[in-house]
Amino acid sequence: MGGNGPCASRQEVGLANPLAQQVEKILAGAVGDFIAKATIKKNCELIGATPDMLSPAQLPELANHIEKSVSFFSGKETGTDVAEKIRNLAG
């Protein structure tokens, strides 16, 4: 049997918004792909947005929320580093 179970055929659904994609990439480097996707979705909800609607003006507030989430699970230094990179995306 060739190892083509349900996970092998799983379709990866990326975020449509390029800005959200950049945030996801930053997060994935710190917490992994699965947690990055969930973290973006939840924290966008907290600021009244969706990943597809995310704008540069929302990045500072999003970074604050993500910093708290990542710090809780991965340590304060990692949370601070991730938040700083997200804030820098705003330009």
pLDDT (average), residues 35-61: 95
Query: Distance (Å, rounded) from C-alpha 46 to C-alpha 85?
Result: 20
Q: Is the pLDDT of residue 33 over 90?
A: yes
Better pLDDT: 14 or 63: 63
Output the pTM of the full model.
0.80
Residue 11 has pLDDT above 90, yes or no: no
Closest CA to 62 of 1, 31, 20: 20
- Identify the DSSP state of 53: G
Average pLDDT on 19-47 reads: 95
pLDDT band at residue 16 under the 50/70/90 scheme: confident
